[in-house]
Amino acid sequence: MTGWDLAPEVALRARQGSALDQVDCRATPGWSAGKVAARAHMARRGRDMATLQEMLYAHGRTGGDRAVLLVLQGMDTSGKGGVVRHVIGMVDPQGVALRAFGVPTRQEAEQHYLWRVRRALPPPGHLGVFDRSHYEDVLVARVDGLVPPSQWQGRFEEINAFEQEVAATGTVVVKVLLAISREEQAERLRRRLERPHKHWKYVPGDVDARARWDDYVLAYQDVLDRTSTPVAPWHVVPADRKWYARLAVTELVAHALEGLDLQWPVAGFDVGAELARLEATT
Amino acid sequence: MTGWDLAPEVALRARQGSALDQVDCRATPGWSAGKVAARAHMARRGRDMATLQEMLYAHGRTGGDRAVLLVLQGMDTSGKGGVVRHVIGMVDPQGVALRAFGVPTRQEAEQHYLWRVRRALPPPGHLGVFDRSHYEDVLVARVDGLVPPSQWQGRFEEINAFEQEVAATGTVVVKVLLAISREEQAERLRRRLERPHKHWKYVPGDVDARARWDDYVLAYQDVLDRTSTPVAPWHVVPADRKWYARLAVTELVAHALEGLDLQWPVAGFDVGAELARLEATT
């Protein structure tokens, strides 16, 4: 059985002092078995993940308070949507709480930036997924100058406190930065533009953001340096190869679910008595 | 290529005067090719459904107002959860708006019974799924005597008006009653009780509801007779064979999506100009 040489929760964990602009986005850290083996492994771990998630759901339905929250960040075209579809798509939709964060609505903009995030936290027993997140409030908000530096600078500590609070309520936070190279992004944007049925995914703003690539790298570097905490560490997932990114996120989520160390809930009723009651109705 | 002898939107559509207690729940109306062929066909239609749903999502993202709402009803163990997992699980979770309706919360109970339903309607571009629905307000509410007859009797017309209004906003309503036999329910409840990892799905109330089987059949019959409208017809899906029920619902949803007659959205920008802007950044 092929598998990971080094578990991605170790291999990909953001480390103090590691430079985002030095990441090889075509690399496959911890995985040397290639793409074909990856497909089989991902399917198998997907089944594990689905069972574990059903167990989490059962736990939530019987009064448990645990949950898992996957936070997905990355430049445009880095594959966040593909991860949702191909990784999260492997588990029962009933147990998933997915939220995509776009430009704040007027109502949201009138509130504290964490207001809409709190409302989107996964209920007990759920696998929550944030497609973009509160990190946009220290990324696009900073790069586009939507708020003054004095304001976004204070947010790092605020975010750490928020995530600590989330973790304290029983939710395991798994943060993933999908890292693509500037060249790969050009290629993916070009493909979107060349295929009419992909045009809906393209917005001219994507090229504008791309023109500020270095500013984004700097902003992401600060995110990694300042918000990778023991309770909610970042994982930098090289994402030029989609198969690797999806394999790695599958493993990170499955690992987080395993870490909850859940059991199937014990019946809160007398099984024998219920069987007898059932027989009486047949 | 094997396929349907008769399309399920025709074969399964509730007809005035047809009696629910005469339905053969082991039958496979419109499908004579058996279980193995069903699996292959469902996978293929699942891919169609996924593409159509992406097109619907694209439509919603570019200002379109169409949506599809699948309403799932059925006795306990009839397979509503399995349909969510195996049918809805075939499409991108991003475009799905799933809501399971349980006993109303205190807040919900203080409002009109349609209040929580309106809030759960799928946004434009989404495939909404109701696992149970406002029909519980003329089913359990009636059978358990939660409200007086004068009250639930008025709800049929109210529900028809509500669904007409939903349809008028661009949402296609697909209503499915998963019909299992009393014998099959006993078998499924027995299996839940005999398997410890299924205990969390069992609540003693299931046997109590089962003891009122005939009352439920009567209540469902009224639902079919009084709320199967041209704009939101009911489909009675025999569900003793899970593979058939899932195949049929896949087809009903795919057919509803096809009926929207969507196209990939046309670019709202100048493709050539964007390609040039992109090249300027590489």
What pLDDT, in 10s, does the model give residues B217-235? 999 999 999 999 999 999 9
Q: Do residue A197 and residue B88 have CB atoms under 8 angstroms apart?
A: no
Residue in B182, B200, B264 nearest the CB of A197: B264
Q: What pLDDT was estimated at residue A2?
A: 62
What pLDDT, in 10s, does the model give residues B103-147? 999 999 999 999 999 999 999 999 999 999 999 999 999 999 999
Note whether A83 contacts B: Cβ–Cβ < 8 A: no
Q: What pLDDT was estimated at residue A46?
A: 97
Q: What is the mean pLDDT of residues A227-247?
A: 98
CA distance B88 to B86: 6
Q: What pLDDT was estimated at residue A17?
A: 84
Q: What pLDDT was estimated at residue B58?
A: 97
What pLDDT, in 10s, does the model give residues B65-93? 999 999 999 999 999 999 999 999 999 99
Q: What is the mean pLDDT of residues B8-31?
A: 95
CA distance B22 to A187: 60
Chain A partners within 8 Å of B186 (Cβ)? 278, 281-282
B179 beta partners: B238
Locate the chain A residue with the closest alpha carbon to B100. A94
Query: What are the extents of the domains in chain B?
Result: 8-280
Q: What pLDDT was estimated at residue B123?
A: 97
Q: What is the mean pLDDT of residues A87-103?
A: 96
A70 in Cβ contact with A51 (< 8 Å) = no
Q: What pLDDT was estimated at residue B2?
A: 62
**Assembly ipTM:** 0.91
- Beta strand spans in A63-112 (E): 67-74, 96-100
Q: Do residue A278 and residue B89 have CB atoms under 8 angstroms apart?
A: no
* Residue B6 structure tokens: 């008769």
Residue in A202, A266, A274 nearest the CB of B207: A274
- Per DSSP, the residues of B128-148 read EEEES-GGGGGTHHHHTTSS-
Nearest CA to B250 among B39, B58, B94, B100?
B39
Note whether B81 contacts A: Cβ–Cβ < 8 A: yes
Residue in B85, B207, B278 nearest the CB of A278: B207
Instruction: Give me the architecture of the A8-280 domain, per CATH.
Output: 3-Layer(aba) Sandwich (3.40)
What pLDDT, in 10s, does the model give residues A245-273? 999 999 999 999 999 999 999 999 999 99
Locate the chain A residue with the closest alpha carbon to B183. A282
Note whether A266 contacts B: Cβ–Cβ < 8 A: yes
Q: What pLDDT was estimated at residue A282?
A: 82
Chain B nearest C-alpha distance from A100 (Å): 8
Q: What share of chain B is helix, strand, coil (3-state, %, to 5)?
A: 55, 10, 35
What pLDDT, in 10s, does the model give residues A21-65? 999 999 999 999 999 999 999 999 999 999 999 999 999 999 999
Q: What is the mean pLDDT of residues A109-125?
A: 97
